[in-house]
Structure formats: structure tokens, C-alpha cells
Structure 1
């Protein structure tokens, strides 16, 4: 079988052309005709260049193929066009760009056809990690909660789990380095395990994405884009450090990258350490301290017929487990109990360029070693080792008229092993296989996209504990299958107004905890009993969005209705086992509905002035009209921001002030309590200075500036009445060279 596979690969390589094409031209302003030092970028190749002072650009060594070319420059509308390169030719494309007060568009990577947001059928939220850090985010999870429609289930400052429109845990899939992240997402106290250093941007798909990603993408996808390699024949480096006054925390990272004609390399390391956070009630939450080490590296080869990228990420997180207020200290040394988590991610991304098509193969190897120390700092009471291999093979067919089509095969092999005395889930193997096909149809004012998919997931677990024990877990051998589909369209009603309408189905196979749990889960203070007879969760969501933009104003409104069949939830019983309340996993149909709306005012010619406002709401109910748990409260956020491009020495400056109002959450499940509303004020300034060949960035920001005492509805410390973090003044310094 392996020999046959190798023969097919070499046959395809032999079919690939050895041609080297070249793209050149000039970039000018359509209004004035003056040259523009714009950027030219080919997303499929991760290859780009910048025009010179006269607006001239040249991009060499382009393989044969049909590629999207992106022209962008600050203050001008981003332009996307497709060119077919063939036959070792020189292609000329002179671009006239139109001035615009709208911020530059980026290519959306999480959707299959790599479109600009304005061309995408599916609305995807995208934000850079530099923006999150400028707003005072302590961790990556802490930053994403400010994206409309996104929140986090938090356990202090060290652990945050994404929530997209009311769905979380195994209903939200995270992708990093182009592969799905697997790190025991079933646990509320299990965080992302990804450091923001070396992550360039975050994309959020809000809604079923099972067509693209399979099981566990029923609620949406959090897609983390790694930092880009250096441009051709350039070497860059940077070092940065941040200080957070509330936790006396520090975070430092160092990165270098270099690029030659065909080979590119990058490497980045970071270290963070935080003491117990201080609440607005003037006490510190004992043992909420944590520290994190992170290392990322990558190498890329780009030839005329083949592109290959290898990336590796190692993350060690040490997180204190806080459960009550005790000794008040500023120490960063962990106390019992605490978690120690190692996360290894190795990814390989290969693209074979054919004449008018391409073959993409992504593979990932992940190893998650999760340890929990309770009484002895040298002996883990709980230790779970999760090994995952996943693959994603896609063939981009030659364009047929206005149609772009992709067919694909995806899969995963996963093994869970217990090495400690405590068992939350049994030893098990999980095998996924999925096939898909999707097409995009493009006209001048209309884009349509549709696709279908079939998946199979097999879960086989071993028995755990003795059959005579009351907490015995029997062996499991089950297979779950599902068909999913999606249909969407984007229509430009006018030059300024567009509408998106999407229909999508998704599914999620029950996880091991839901199927097999039988014992006390210390992290949640519950005795949890799984249900062997659980079925797939299956949902169907309708999503409608309206967008309007001119040179002064951008406005959007998104609405969704999500019907979930066989929604799995945990429900309290009247039983007590070992002085712990018993909860059972049950199923019922559910519905979630709501949306987001907002505007961005940037009055021309005062392009430096920005006012942004957004509102988000979601309601979740079971079929009997009982409310679902862990649904975020409604909120409204207003931001006033100024940005200046200053000149020769001070290159760029910005300042912001944000007020976020979170409303009362009274729509609660049977085992939740209402949460009062509160307001959080934050502000910050940032400037960058050009000093010889160095760029120095200095930032100062503050969060919860009024030192408000509050408890977030999705805080896992809420049952103990422990407040969230109080005022923090943060300082950052970054040197690029």
C-alpha cells in the first residue's frame, strides 16, 4: 500500500511543470497617478514583495497555476484578482489603487478558497494578536473575548475556553499551524495550551463548520494563523517584554526569521510568569498564579513545483488550582494543587503545484501530557496522555468557468492513556474519517458556495476500575456517522451594501466524558455519570448578515437561529455520593438565537479618528423552554480610537478608550444563579519610533480602570463568590530589527 502511495505521489510530481514565471508591473494611485509602495502577495504560495519608491515591483519564481494576487497598501482599497501563470513567461499587471478610509482587508485562511472578507460568502471575524495585546490581554484566550459573538469560560487568569454564540468545549474546534488542536477539550478547567507569541492573527467562524472540519466544529472554529516567514532575501528579529501590575506578571519573547531564494526559517521563544491576581475587592485569589514556557520554530521550502512547511510548537503551562481565599502573597511559586501540562504540536503542510490545479496535504502530530498534583508535588494524582495524528488532503480542481471546486479527505487517529491513580475518562482509541466536496461560484455582484460531507467516528475504550466497584466504567465500542451540508450566498445590493445568507448543518459525536464518566470530577466538584446511549448532536443554523460601508461609516448586523437536535447537557439529580452532588448527562432538542450589530465611524478626511460600537446577544433554551447553562450575558462595547502616521522618527501613534457594559444575566439553567451587570473601562496609548535600522514600539494600557468588583457569568469561580480581576496597568516594549 505504501509503495502504491509513493508511486502516485511521484507520478503527480512528474506531471508538474518546471516553469518559472515572473510577475511585474507598477502600482499607482487612481486619483493622482502617483506611485505607491504597495504590497503584492500570493496567499497560496505565501510569497510576496513590496513595490519600490517609483511603484515598480517584481515577483519571480512563480510556479505554473491559477493564483489569487492581493494588492494592498494603507489608505487604499485592497484589490484581489486571479491570474493564470503558464509556460515560463513574464506577466505584467499595472495596478491603479483607489484611496479608501476603510482599513486594509486581509485574506481569510480558515475558509477553503482564501478570499478577502469582502468576497467571502461566510462572514469571518479576524483580529491580529498585536491588537489584542495592545488592549491589555494577559493571554490569547483573554484577548478573544472582545471579538463580537465570542466569550470565554474562565478559571482565573490562567485558563480560558472559547465560547462562540453560546457553544463551547467540544462544540468549538481550535486550529493551529493548520491542524486541529486536541488537548482534552472536554474539561471546563482545560485551557487552550497555545501562547500568543508566534500567532499572527485569530479568525473566528461563528456557526457550523462541520463541512470544512468535521466533528466538534458544530458551534464554530477558532483558527490561529502562525506568523509569516520573512520576505525574500530578508532577515528580521524582535524582542519584546510586557509587565502587568495586577499580577506582577512579566512576559518576554524573542524571535528571528530569515528567507533565501527557496528556503525560509523562523524561531521564537517566550516565557511568562504571573502571581495571584488581585480582585476589585482588594484581595488576591490564592494559588491563581501560573507560568508558561513556549517555543515555536518552522522551516519552509518553496520550489517551482512544490511547497513544504514544517512547524513545531512546544508549550509547558504550570497553573495553580484555586478553590478558596487563603494566604495573601505575591509569590509566583506554585502551591498544591496545580496542573502541569506539556503540549507538542508538529505540523507538515505540503502543496504540489500542477498545471491548473494543486494538491494540498496537511498532517499533524500532537502529544498532550496533562498532570495534576494534589498532595505530592512529585507524584501526579491525575495524568492523561493524549496522542493524536491527523491529516487533511485536498485537491483543488482546475477552475471550470466561474466555478472553483475542492474535494477532500480528512481523518484522525487518537489514543488516550491514563498514567495516574485518578481516572476521568478511560483509555481509548478514536478514529475519524471524512470526505467532502465544496464549490464556489463567482460573478461580479454574486458569490455562491455549497458543499456536502460524510463523516464516521469510531470510539473504542477499555474498561476502567474493578467490576465490583460502584464507579466501574465498562468498555465502549461505538461508531457515529453523519452527513452535513452547507449553502450560502453573498449579494452586492449596491456598491456600498452587501447581504450574506448562509444555511449550514453540523454535527458532534459525544465525547468520552459524556459517554463513560462515573466518578467525582474534582475540577467541577461534581459526581458525573455518563450515558452510553447518547447520540450525535446535529444542528442546522440560518445566518443572515447585512453590511454597509462608505468613506465615513461601516455598519453591520448579523442574526442567527441555531436548532440543535439531541443537545447534550449535564443535569443535577437529587442524589449524593461521597458527599458530592450527582449530575447525569442527558439529551434534548435545543435552540440558540441572537446576533451581533455594530458600526465603525471614521469621518473623511479625519481618517485618524475612529469610533466603534458593537452589541451582542444570545439566548439558549431546551425544548421545554428551560435555559441552557453557560450562555454569555448580553453586552455592548464602545471604543473611541485615534491613529496617526507621524513621520520620519515617530512612525505611528495610537490611543483608545473602551467602555464595555455587560447586562444582567437572568436567563439561567437549573444549577446556575443570576449574575448582576457591570461596566469595565479600559484605555491605552502606543507609539513606534524609527531609530536607524530599528523600530521601537512602546505601549501603556490599563484594564478595569475603575477597579470594579464583579463576577463574570462564565467564571468558574462564581459558585465560590470569588471576584474577577481588578485594575491592572500594563506596560510593553518591543524592539524590531
Structure 2
């Protein structure tokens, strides 16, 4: 009897493993098999590639409708929806040739469509493409995307700016979790490293419907590195050298997968000396060191899919206060400096029901930030701990209507243990509930949603009332209703129109509510305002996009009206020689957009020309200009693609000319900035030396060694120029 039960169990297990498979053949327009096509089911974290006969297969799939993505350079991306319900499904796919970039699945929006099907215009860029530009940090690479800029402090700290909005007005997601790391401060970087990141998606506009408070200006959504294909093991090593900072970036990654289990790990180390300006002098104490470690484990079967990820990031950052002083190539930071430890733990799970699914994201972030003035005893020491959750229920599809409802929330504590207090000890709680629906018919898509949020902030009293560094106890609650409506249509076969109207909000942050002292790096005595109201905006976006096999053209326009915009205003008083600034509110408006084209002339299949122009204007209700508005930029790139037989595959060479215009539209305490033009070159590809295969890249940034000061540089007030000529050498091995 015992043997019979064991045999029955083994037989049943084998039968279950054999259930719900999907396989097929991928061919081109000439009915020839296509080898090396990437086939993926993103929500299951499953991936494979077609073999020499164009065949692929997945097994152990849930009983539901799955989206299967087929991508291959040189072919148009296909995103097939397949209802899984029988033991074996055959899905054969015909790929059509396409010259332009692959159409990627957009994860940051609710329904995970590929970009061509998406109602919102979302900028998608792979980290590999950003790295090919030779930038030294992740945010510097993002600033090359039209509509995105950065507030920088030297070469180490960068804060993203989306269409003129930054700080707490831009929300950042990593591993499916919103990043919380005291981002209210201009001198506080994101603490994110591009190692172990697959791609980034940029939502330019209010996204409070999906993400709640702080998504007033937009969202940066970082997609983590994909797991290895089933039943494979991969090892990867990369090394970069930066001539200007004598810096290096080293990364090593390992990953493996079975049909059900996945595992990956990656470590990287980044170290740089003080950066040089165009005349060869170094900016003292802009050196920094970064250690980053990422790991993840995943499991999926026919009932659920779950991924647990962990990211540890350690930053040792010099704070440049002396400008161009002692010249050194040391990588050991001097005082003053920052020490930051960031732990990010995320659990992303999907549970499959009969005709629906539940999507649950849980996250925990521990951010430990210290500032050291003249000794290893921290003058400022803040510990921020954040737990957040996001639960979404995908209702059964009704005809052509897809619907999602969900709840989202956050519990956050801030504790100080240093001598100085920048913000008080506090507890913040968020809760939001939302619903959104997507309706498709013929060439049209309509998407709409509603959301309600509450944020409660409680702070503790600190110090002696009326004296510098003291805080009164605060207990505030902020509510907001928001809505979004989007429409997409294909006017003709190659012409797409998108129109979106959305509202967003941002509750005042702790610094705006409670500040009482000199703000680091600004030499301003800032006074908070406990009577501040919630910022509330409404933005209209219009996107027109034309694309055929050899020509692509886009126009993005936006108008953003913000009620109760929070900013600092000089009172005319001084405290200890520092001007006093109050936090006040006024209505504001921002408008502008991006326009660009990509030309791939026939029969010159190896040649690409890309150009884009971006502009934004920000004004208060009285028509005074808003601060920290990026200057207009015109970017031009010529890219060639080539092969060198028996030596170089997928070769490329790029010539980039980026022109930033004068910025004369400044707020009361800003100064104007002159324009400048930078020349950048790039070269790379996949080399084959015998059986050894590796990628190489060579970049020359600011090749003419132009001396310039970016308008959004925090070193601008001291007249310190940005980085001079930089040569970047990179090599990447798949071991």
C-alpha cells in the first residue's frame, strides 16, 4: 500500500508538472526560423530564447490569461495575450522587420502594456544604453533623457528633475518599492547604483493615481536586473575606468534559474578622486566611494509567483566647501563629509485566481544618514525607517474592459541621534485607495481612474521654543482626491495621438513644516510653516508620434497648474549674518515640452540621426519665475552601426553635440547662467578573440574640455565649473 501511495504521488507530481505548457516557433516574413528571440512572461519572471529552429517552450503555467513578450533587435516587438486553460498550447509567431528600437513592456503603469499600446507616454531606457554614453552616475545618465535634468553637487550627488519639478515632487521606485531616504534635501542623493538595474521608466507628469503623495511631478521607476533563463547559469564581470577622476567601477554578478526557482546576486564598487575642471585644477573634496550589493531569489508555479530582493548601498561622500583648494588625487574623503547606509528589502508576489489575480508589493527601507563636520562624531545623524505596501486586485475582464482596484500605504519613522537636528523626530502614515479601468475598441484606448489619500504627520517637540534648532510638536493630517483620464488613438497606421489629463498632490514635508535654522549649503536661515496646505495640481499632456520603418517624429506638450506651490521667500531679516527665508505658498504654472526626430535613411541601414529639443517655463501667479528651472537644451546624435569580420560584432560609433541655452528666467535669489555646447564621442561593440567574447566601450565626454557651469549645479553660487574632459574605458565579460 505504501509503495502504491508513493507511486501515485510521483505520478501525480509528474502530471502536474506536465500541465499547462505553451510552445511554438518564431519565424520571419520569409517563413524562416529566427534564432535568439527573447521570449518572456514578465509577471512570472520566466524567460527563454528561441533555438536554432526558432522554437521556445514554457511549462507549469497558471490557469489565466498571460502576456508573452517577443523581442529581437531588428524586429517589431510582439506582446501576445494567451488564455491558459488546456494542457498544451501552440503559439507560433511571425516577426516583422523594424529598424527602430524594440517596443518594451511598461511596468510602471497599471496594465503593463507595451509602449505602443500604452495610454500614457512613458520614456523607457535600458541601463545598457545609458552606460554607453559614458556617464559616471545613474542620475547623470538619466539627465540625457528629454525632459529629465539633475540638481547636482559635484560628480557624486544628483537629484532628478522632471519638467522643472524635483525633490519631494518626484517619486522614485526601485524593486517595486518607493524610495524614502530624506530626499527633501538638495544635498541628499538617491543612493541608487546602476549595477543590477535593467532599465528605467520615466513618467513625466502627475502619477498620484498610481503612487499617491509625492508623485506630483513624475515618477522614475527602476526595473531590477532580470533573472537568468530557465536551466541556465550566467556570470558577468565589468570594469570601467574614468580618466578625469582617476575613478573605477567594478561589478561582478552571478545568476541561475530552474523551471521554478531563480537566484541572482551582484556586487559593485565605485571609487573616484576629486574631479578636474577644464583648466586642470581639481575641486577639493568632491571624491566619493560607493559599495553596492544586490541579491534576489524567486519562485513561481501554476498558483503564484514571488520574488524577494535585497539591496545594500553604502556611500562615503565628500562635501565640497572650500572650492578649488588643496590639490589631491586621494580617494579618501575629508571633512566635511556624508556617510550613508541604505538597506532595501522587497517582496513582490502575484497570486493567480480563476479569472483574476492579486498583486502584492511589500517593502522595507532603513536609511542611516550622517554628516561629519570636523571629526568622526556625527554632527547630524538621521535614521529613517519605512514600511510600505501596495495591494492590487485585477478583476476578471469584462468584455474589453480591464479593471484594477487597490490599497496602498506607508508607515515611516524618523529619529535623530546627532548633536544637530535638521528635522524633528517624526512618524508619518499614509493610506490610499484607488481604482482604474482600461477600455479598448478598434484603434482606440480609454483609461480612467479615481483615488483618495490621507497622510498624517506627527512630530515631537525639541529644544527651547524660540531658539535656533528648536521644533514645536506638530500633528497634521492631509487629504486629497485625485483623478486621471487618458485617451489614445491611431489617427492613421503610423500616427498615434495621446491625450492625458491628471491631477496630483504633495503633502508638505517635514523641512517645510518645521525648519528652524541654517540650511546646509544655502547659507539661509529657513523657518518652517505649520499652516502649509497640500500642493494640488492638474496637468494636461498631449503626445503626437509618427513612426515608420525609416523615420520617427514626436511632439510632447504639457501645461501644469499647481495650487499652493511651496517655496522659500526672503523676509529681509538676518540672523547671525544669514538671511531669513520663510516657507510660503502661491499658485504656479509650468509649461513646455519636447520635440524630436529619429532618421534612418534607406539604403544607408548603418546610419542613424537623432535630434531632440526640450523646454520648460515655470512661473508663480504674479508672473515671477520659479527657482531651479532647467535651461532649454538641444541634443543631436549621429550613430553608426557596423561589423568588423572575425573581430567586432554589433559595433557602434556615436557623435553627440549637446547645446544648453542661456537661462535668464530666474527667481529672486538665483543668478542667470550662460549657455554652452558639449561634444561627446562613443565607440564600442562585441569583440571576439578566439573563443573569448566580451563587450568594449570607449567614451570621450566634454571632449573639447569646455569650461561651463550648469544652471542646476549647487556649486554654481561659488563659481565652480562642472567636470572637464573625461575619457571612459569599459569592458564587460559574460564568463
TM-score normalised by structure 1 residue count? 0.96
Distance 1:323 1:469 in 2: 26
Sort the Cα spacing of 1:471 and 1:24 in 2 relative to 1 into closer, same or farther, 3 A: closer
Select 1:166's aligned residue among 164, 167, 179: 164
Partner of 2:564: 566
Q: CA deviation at 1:34?
A: 1.1
Q: CA deviation at 1:690?
A: 4.0
Distance 2:19 2:427 in 1: 46
Select 1:507's aligned residue among 505, 513, 516: 505
Residue 326 in structure 1 maps to residue 340 in structure 2: no
Partner of 1:41: 40
Distance 1:715 1:581 in 2: 21
Residue 673 in structure 1 maps to residue 668 in structure 2: no
Which digits, 9 at most, give the CA deviation of each residue in 1:75-104, with x for residues without a partner? 1111122111114x2111111111111221
Q: Number of aligned residue pairs: give it.
A: 718
Contact 1:214–1:455 (CA under 8 A) maintained in structure 2: yes
Partner of 2:302: 304
Contact 2:420–2:469 (CA under 8 A) maintained in structure 1: no
3-state SS of 2:116 partner:
helix
Which digits, 9 at most, give the CA deviation of each residue in 1:335-360, with x for residues without a partner? 10000000000000111111221111
Sort the Cα spacing of 1:18 and 1:361 in 2 relative to 1 into closer, same or farther, 3 A: farther
3-state SS of 1:493 partner:
strand
Q: CA deviation at 1:692?
A: 6.4
Residue 226 in structure 1 maps to residue 214 in structure 2: no
Q: CA deviation at 1:643?
A: 1.6
Partner of 1:375: 374
Partner of 1:426: 424
Root-mean-square deviation (CA), in Å? 1.3
Partner of 1:365: 364
Distance 1:395 1:727 in 2: 51
- Bigger mean CA deviation after superposition, 122-131 or 475-484: 122-131
Distance 1:470 1:519 in 2: 5
Sort the Cα spacing of 1:403 and 1:19 in 2 relative to 1 into closer, same or farther, 3 A: farther
- Bigger mean CA deviation after superposition, 425-434 or 93-102: 93-102
Contact 1:19–1:63 (CA under 8 A) maintained in structure 2: no
Which digits, 9 at most, give the CA deviation of each residue in 1:209-260, with x for residues without a partner? 0000000000000111100000000000111110111111111010000001
Contact 1:86–1:355 (CA under 8 A) maintained in structure 2: no
Distance 2:583 2:438 in 1: 40
Residue 108 in structure 1 maps to residue 91 in structure 2: no
Select 2:693's aligned residue among 692, 695, 708: 695
Contact 1:19–1:86 (CA under 8 A) maintained in structure 2: no
Sort the Cα spacing of 1:19 and 1:523 in 2 relative to 1 into closer, same or farther, 3 A: farther
Partner of 1:346: 345
Which digits, 9 at most, give the CA deviation of each residue in 1:683-732, with x for residues without a partner? 01002124566531111101101111100000000010000000011101
Partner of 1:248: 246
Which digits, 9 at most, give the CA deviation of each residue in 1:375-421, with x for residues without a partner? 11x20000000000000000111111111111111000000000101
Distance 1:338 1:260 in 2: 45
Which digits, 9 at most, give the CA deviation of each residue in 1:135-192, with x for residues without a partner? 1110001111100000000000000000000000000000000000000010000001
Distance 1:19 1:717 in 2: 62
Contact 1:18–1:63 (CA under 8 A) maintained in structure 2: no
Distance 2:73 2:374 in 1: 56
Sort the Cα spacing of 1:42 and 1:645 in 2 relative to 1 into closer, same or farther, 3 A: farther
Distance 2:686 2:54 in 1: 25
Partner of 1:465: 463
Sort the Cα spacing of 1:714 and 1:372 in 2 relative to 1 into closer, same or farther, 3 A: same
Partner of 2:623: 625
Which digits, 9 at most, give the CA deviation of each residue in 1:485-523, with x for residues without a partner? 000011001111010000000000000000000111223
Contact 2:18–2:59 (CA under 8 A) maintained in structure 1: no
Q: CA deviation at 1:468?
A: 5.7
Distance 2:511 2:18 in 1: 53
Q: CA deviation at 1:681?
A: 0.6
Partner of 1:206: 204
Distance 2:393 2:365 in 1: 24
Partner of 1:236: 234
Q: CA deviation at 1:641?
A: 0.4
List alignment gaps of at least 5 residues for structure 2. Answer: 1-15
Distance 2:734 2:31 in 1: 33
Sort the Cα spacing of 1:273 and 1:470 in 2 relative to 1 into closer, same or farther, 3 A: closer
Distance 2:397 2:603 in 1: 42
Partner of 1:52: 51
Partner of 2:177: 179
- Bigger mean CA deviation after superposition, 466-475 or 716-725: 466-475
Q: CA deviation at 1:649?
A: 5.2
Distance 2:469 2:410 in 1: 30
The aligned runs of 1:447-462 (5 Å cut-off) are: 447-462=445-460
Residue 593 in structure 1 maps to residue 611 in structure 2: no
Q: CA deviation at 1:606?
A: 2.7
- Bigger mean CA deviation after superposition, 702-711 or 515-524: 515-524
Contact 2:207–2:215 (CA under 8 A) maintained in structure 1: yes
Sort the Cα spacing of 1:410 and 1:464 in 2 relative to 1 into closer, same or farther, 3 A: same
Q: CA deviation at 1:647?
A: 6.0
Partner of 1:581: 579
Distance 1:408 1:468 in 2: 44
Distance 1:447 1:340 in 2: 48
Partner of 1:11: none
3-state SS of 1:62 partner:
coil
The aligned runs of 1:605-684 (5 Å cut-off) are: 605-644=603-642, 650-684=648-682
- Bigger mean CA deviation after superposition, 438-447 or 310-319: 438-447
Partner of 1:295: 293
Sort the Cα spacing of 1:483 and 1:648 in 2 relative to 1 into closer, same or farther, 3 A: farther
Which digits, 9 at most, give the CA deviation of each residue in 1:648-705, with x for residues without a partner? 6532111101000000000000000110000011001002124566531111101101
Which digits, 9 at most, give the CA deviation of each residue in 1:442-465, with x for residues without a partner? 223111111000000000000111
Distance 1:200 1:522 in 2: 34
Sort the Cα spacing of 1:160 and 1:470 in 2 relative to 1 into closer, same or farther, 3 A: closer
Partner of 1:263: 261
List alignment gaps of at least 5 residues for structure 1. Answer: 1-16
Partner of 1:62: 61
3-state SS of 1:513 partner:
helix
Partner of 1:194: 192
Which digits, 9 at most, give the CA deviation of each residue in 1:190-219, with x for residues without a partner? 001001101111110000000000000000
TM-score normalised by structure 2 residue count? 0.96
Distance 1:556 1:54 in 2: 38
Sort the Cα spacing of 1:468 and 1:211 in 2 relative to 1 into closer, same or farther, 3 A: closer
Distance 1:516 1:18 in 2: 59
Contact 1:694–1:736 (CA under 8 A) maintained in structure 2: no
